[in-house]
């Protein structure tokens, strides 16, 4: 049985929105959570077609450069009418020809434009989390979470980040940007993935 003892981990992301949510989810766990920026670690390349491959690449990159266990998150929004787009390109959806990063608002605007004449508004957020104990870890812990919803026709709300202002959680009738952090963490793709990861950790530790 694999034994895992975590006292300190590095989060393999420089996305402030993700960092805030992950740090909130990990509070009161006794684990010291550090951002990769604290070690001047640059963002890893994400050349792959799947969330899991990109998440693994990011986790191994951060662990290699810090010497610490690393937790990575690769996530995005997948829209039924667009055959799963933006998907792994969610953060870079509105990039220009030179791949210059655009803002969340630009990504939202492009998605709203793409959905302008669509009646099928179904979409889901997807998140995969990967934890490696060291860079060459042959048994990374992997967990996933899905948050089902719909794409609105206009932005609503002031919280969250990414596509939250146009993503409607049908059950609550609120967008991701209308939910406070605690409420969002209970139902979000990221919250579900981390809960699943912790369950796996407890199994491995027994």
Domain-embedded: residue 2:
no
Domain-embedded: residue 136:
yes
Out of 29-33, 94-98, 134-138, the most confident range is: 134-138
- Residue 170 pLDDT class (50, 70, 90 cuts): very high
Closest to 74 measured CA to CA, from 202, 198, 161, 189: 189
Which pair of structure tokens corresponds to residue 64? 């290699």
If 0-12 CB within 10 Å is exposed, 13-18 middle and 19+ buried, where does residue 103 land? exposed
Mean pLDDT within 180-206:
86
Domain-embedded: residue 144:
yes
Full residue range of the structural domain in which residue 23 is found = 8-205
Q: Cα–Cα distance between 185 and 25 in angstroms, integer?
A: 7
The predicted-structure confidence for 11-65, as pLDDT tens digits, reads as follows: 998 888 888 888 888 887 788 889 999 999 998 888 999 999 999 999 999 999 9
Domain-embedded: residue 1:
no
Q: Cα–Cα distance between 18 and 59 in angstroms, integer?
A: 14
Active site residue 74: yes
Q: Cα–Cα distance between 57 and 120 in angstroms, integer?
A: 34
Domain count, the chain: 1
Domain-embedded: residue 3:
no
Active-site residue identified among 73, 74, 104, 164: 74
Q: Cα–Cα distance between 117 and 138 in angstroms, integer?
A: 46
CATH number, residue 185 = 3.90.950.10
């Amino acid at each position: 049985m694999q034994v895992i003892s975590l006292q300190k981990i590095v989060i393999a992301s420089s996305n402030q929105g993700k960092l805030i949510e992950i740090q909130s989810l990990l509070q009161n766990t006794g684990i010291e959570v550090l951002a990769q920026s604290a070690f001047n670690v640059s963002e890893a390349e994400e050349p792959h077609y799947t969330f899991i491959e990109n998440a693994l690449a990011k986790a191994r990159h951060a662990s290699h450069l810090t010497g610490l266990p690393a937790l990575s998150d690769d996530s995005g929004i997948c829209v039924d009418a667009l055959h799963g787009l933006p998907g792994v390109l969610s953060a870079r959806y509105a990039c220009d020809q030179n791949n210059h990063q655009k803002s969340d608002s630009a990504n939202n605007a492009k998605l709203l434009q793409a959905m302008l004449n669509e009646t099928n508004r179904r979409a889901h957020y997807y998140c995969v989390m990967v934890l490696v104990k060291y860079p060459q870890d042959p048994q990374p812990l992997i967990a996933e979470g899905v948050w089902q919803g719909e794409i609105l026709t206009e932005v609503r709300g002031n919280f969250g980040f990414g596509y939250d202002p146009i993503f409607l959680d049908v059950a609550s009738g609120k967008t991701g940007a209308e939910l406070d952090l605690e409420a969002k963490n209970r139902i979000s793709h990221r919250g579900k993935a981390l809960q699943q990861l912790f369950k796996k950790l407890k199994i491995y530790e027994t």
